Structure 1
Amino acid sequence: MLPDSAGGRAVSTVLDVAVCLLFVTAAVGVLATVDRPTPDDSDTADRAASLLGTTTTTVHYAATGPDGGSGGRAAVACRVDGGSRPDDCRTAHGTVADLLAHAAVADVTAAAEGSGFERGVRNATHQRLAGIRSSWQVVVTWRAYPDAPLAGRLVVGDGPPPGVDVHTATLQVPVAGNGATEATGADEPRTVDAVARQAASTMITRLFPPEPTRLALVGEASADQRTASHYRRTAAALGVGLDGAVADGSVRRANSILTDALATRYARDLETRTDDPTAAAALVSVETATVTVRTWSA
């Protein structure tokens, strides 16, 4: 038989443990029933835009058929890692935002619509934003100025439902290409027509860079057909004919025809907005595509 003091200590220890367990249980119960605060997603759009602008990726895609679409078999083969790839497979590398801008530019001539490249860019966007806790949509546009004729646009993701708070962040992504890089040239613009012509020349050069386009026209039959199809679509959008320039493989002449037609459209439109060449130049930007990220609570 234990002494009274030992028995007292044993009983006390048991009571201490029991009381401790009660407190722990009560605390757990309190923590479990506390209402969690609604997460603030006001910074989610900024974070998503940052991810698109800083994360690089590689897109492998097939470019078969005259319209730049890809057959299912070719598209699958281009996604196989390692080993040789079919000659018709292409690779694009850059930040996700860069590739989105590229797809928006291609959309001007319908070169990206339904293509393997567009699908690859859409998939890359979904993969990059998979960890975003909010619902999102990405809208990419490339145009000389708001509501300008001849523009490219790409949308990834469904739009927000009505009545929700939407947060927005934008990126201005440089559009790579050759040729002129300023809508007004090195000097101050002298006329609105000069602003319009420089902007038109830059856009057409972005769409049909002379040397790569010439090589495509005289190269393999499928590339020839795709490039000719893109020319025809652009000419139809501007209401002009290319007068055999494409058939002759004359990129310089085809681009000149398109530039003249687009410059006329730009000048007519800009003159309804301002008669000041400097103000007109400030309206025009064909050097960047705008990537807009929209987020909202699911």
Structure 2
Amino acid sequence: MVVNAAVDAAVFLLLLGAAVVGLTAADAGPGAADADADGDADAVANVLATSTATVNYTLSPGARRAAESGADFERTAGPEFERTTHGSLAGLLARAAVGTAGFGDDPVTHARDDFRSAVRDAVAARLEPVGLRVDAVWRPYPDSPVEGRVAVGEVPPATATTDTATLSVPAGTRSLAANETRDFSSLSSAVARRTVETLAPAGQMRLALRGDAPVSTLVGYRYDRLAAELNTSVDSRTADADTEAANRRLAAALAPRVESDLRARYDSPEDAAAAVGVAEVRIVVRTWEAGR
């Protein structure tokens, strides 16, 4: 099943998350669009794929955190910080997971904190989270230093018997090509490039840097944070809005870390490539009988 997810213009201009262009539901049964959390996991997954919501959120939390770190904001609240977006519940979850991704437990920026909360509320309003857990996770590969996740509902009790279904949502970057998986070096460079492109889509970031505040300031701060995490600098490149060059520098700094991880965990480039999931957000639905 493929469902198009609408992304409003504000999301593209913000460019702090993934542009979700499609949705594939794995193991979701047909005819379940009106199911609720009392149904099985397949039915709930179908609701996430087919139900839509409009969410309102603000960029102010991110602006305040950035200002505390020295970003130059004239103000950190007001109408220019308010946003509205619409999409499928699964698409919104995916955008929230990517938009709040970071290194360890710390998002690259906090501009999408309120968006993530609004998405959680929208999902909970459609699917009463009793006997239900939804986890949307984006990570380039297992145990990657970069990860984004959004969860709705409680963790299932250890004694519960759970039913599980999975959705796969594009994360806004291309899948790996065959010539990029021939050896660990090529694979790691490709994964690093895709990771950076997901966190900071070069084309849209360039437009944002050339635009008005607060978006231009937030995007500049996002690049500063990425560079700090990767122990490099992109100041001169972002000053000229040369985001392609900035992204190449960030990817070059990330690639050795990726290669070290992949070589330590996998016996061959083929095995490592099979584990890479940089191009998708996986949404796992688990249901169980509440009270047990």
TM-score (norm 2): 0.72
* Cα distance change of structure 1 residues 208 and 87 upon mapping to structure 2, 3 Å threshold: same
**For residues 93 and 143 of structure 2, what CA distance do their matches in structure 1 show?**
20
2:115 maps to a residue whose letter is F
Q: Which runs of 5+ in 2 are unaligned?
A: 1-36, 66-74
**Residue 127 of structure 2, aligned match among 120, 126, 129:** 129
2: CA distance, partners of 1:48 / 1:120: 19
Residue type of the alignment partner of 1:123: D
In the aligned structure 2, how far is the partner of 1:144 from the partner of 1:239?
20
- CA apart distance, 1:207: 1.5
Partner of residue 276 from structure 2, selected from 265, 274, 284: 284
Q: Is 1:163 aligned with 2:137? A: no
1:104 to 84, 97, 108: 97
Q: What is the SS of the residue equivalent to 2:214?
A: helix
In 2, Cα distance between the equivalents of 1:54 and 1:68? 35
- Of 84, 87, 93, which residue of structure 2 is paired with 1:91? 84
| Partner of residue 199, structure 1 | 191
State the SS of the aligned residue for 2:197: helix
Change (3 A) 1:201 1:107: same
- Give the C-alpha shift of residue 65 in structure 1: 5.9
**CA drift at 1:106:** 0.9
CA distance in 1, matches of 2:279, 2:140: 8
Q: 1:218 is matched with which residue? A: 210
Q: Residue 114 of structure 1: CA displacement?
A: 6.2
Instruction: Report the CA distance shift for 1:137/1:68 in structure 2 as closer, same or farther (over 3 A).
Output: farther
Secondary structure of the equivalent of 2:179? coil
Q: What SS does structure 2 have at the residue aligned with 1:246?
A: helix
Over aligned residues, Cα RMSD in angstroms? Answer: 2.8
Contact 1:112/1:118 (8 A) holds in 2: no
Count of residue pairs brought into register by the alignment: 240
Bigger-Rg structure (1/2)? 1
Partner of 1:120: 118
- The answer as to whether partners of 1:200 and 1:259 remain within 8 angstroms in 2 is yes
| CA 1:156–1:73: 2 relative to 1, 3 Å | farther
Report the equivalent of 1:143.
139
Residue 55 to residue 261, structure 1, CA distance change in 2 (3 Å)? same
Output the amino acid matched with 1:220: D
| Identity value in percent | 36
CA deviation string 1:39-75 (max 9, x = no partner): xx99522222221112122223232365488x9985x
- Match of 1:3? none
Query: C-alpha displacement at 1:290, in angstroms?
Result: 1.0
Distance in 2 (CA, whole Å) between partners of 1:72 and 1:259 is: 31
1:182 aligns with 2:169: no
1:224 counterpart SS class: helix
Q: Tell me the equivalent position of 2:13.
A: none
Residues 1:154 and 2:154 are matched in the alignment: no
**8 A Cα contact 2:96 2:112, kept in partner:** no
